């Protein structure tokens, strides 16, 4: 069977866990060469080593996506090894402690914008020149359902994820005539380390078990459950796929109906 990403160079940020790790594995299965980054060096090295053991070509760098020099160095390393970047999956992101807006520390707001919004901007800024040179490319930014609606107790996260949608739409308009597609996915609550951390906070505050806390979170979703990571990652591969050639500028909700109401 033909592999959709055979010999394509796919850059994935936040690749040490969650969506990023699974996406790296799925793009590997589809024949891609991988440029991976994360702030968690040990976890990233473990992921990269496992992928290399399966025969995949991997460049892996410890990167804080909020730092321009680190992002630029990682992209330069990838281009030096592989010649270009065909697909950029800008996935790295953080949450913050649950808190009403008037009690949220300014430092947490700034940190969320630095990683979740500035990080996406910096990655696109470094990816785009290589795509322009190649005459084609695909960028997929990972926003959130919180980037389409409000998110109680998560105001800074929601604001930064709204910014990701704005960056996505602006870039899609700017580069569509250059054969570069730019889209975003907007997942709702999914079984990832970030949601596990949120469930722990809910559990501690409300005196609930982990399962009860996850159930409380899931109760906000019309489908009555949280997503599994593979449900989100399959959409990542579809959004970036060559056959999906007429979609750009979209913020795709993967949310069990959350934003439909």
**Residues catalogued as catalytic:** 157
Gyration radius of the chain over CA positions: 18
The answer to whether 121 and 225 have CB atoms below 8 angstroms apart is: no
Q: 199-221 burial, b for 16+ CB within 10 Å, e for fewer?
A: beebbeeeeeeeeebbbebbeeb
Which residue has 């996506």 as its token pair?
65
Tell me which H or E stretch contains 117: none
Separation CA 132–CA 124 (nearest Å): 12
The answer to whether 41 and 14 have CB atoms below 8 angstroms apart is: no
Q: Which two tokens stand for residue 64?
A: 């804080």
Q: Which residues contact 113 (CB under 8 A, 6 or more apart)?
A: 156, 159, 160, 163
Q: Using alpha carbons, select from 165, 90, 138 the residue that is nearest to residue 244.
A: 138
The answer to whether 27 and 5 have CB atoms below 8 angstroms apart is: yes
């Amino acid at each position: 069977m033909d592999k959709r990403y055979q010999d394509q160079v796919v850059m994935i940020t936040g690749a040490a866990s969650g969506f990023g790790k699974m996406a790296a594995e799925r793009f590997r299965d589809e024949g891609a060469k991988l440029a991976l980054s994360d702030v968690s060096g040990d976890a990233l090295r473990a992921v990269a080593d496992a992928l290399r053991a399966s025969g995949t070509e991997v460049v892996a760098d410890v990167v804080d996506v909020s730092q321009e020099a680190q992002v630029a160095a990682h992209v330069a390393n990838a281009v030096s090894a592989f010649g270009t970047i065909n697909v950029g999956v800008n996935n790295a992101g953080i949450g913050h402690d649950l808190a009403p807006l008037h009690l949220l520390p300014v430092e947490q707001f700034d940190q969320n914008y630095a990683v979740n919004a500035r990080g996406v901007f910096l990655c696109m800024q470094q990816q785009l020149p290589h795509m322009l040179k190649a005459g084609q490319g695909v960028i997929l930014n990972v926003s959130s359902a919180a980037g389409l609606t409000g998110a109680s107790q998560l105001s800074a996260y929601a604001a930064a994820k709204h910014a990701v949608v704005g960056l996505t739409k602006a870039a899609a308009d700017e580069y569509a005539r250059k054969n570069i597609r730019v889209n975003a996915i907007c997942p709702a609550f999914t079984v990832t380390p970030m949601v596990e951390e949120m469930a722990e906070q809910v559990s501690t505050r409300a005196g609930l078990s982990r399962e009860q806390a996850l159930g409380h979170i899931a109760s906000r979703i019309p489908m009555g459950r949280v997503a599994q990571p593979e449900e989100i990652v399959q959409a990542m591969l579809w959004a970036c796929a060559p056959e999906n050639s007429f979609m750009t500028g979209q913020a795709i909700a993967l949310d069990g109906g959350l934003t439909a109401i």
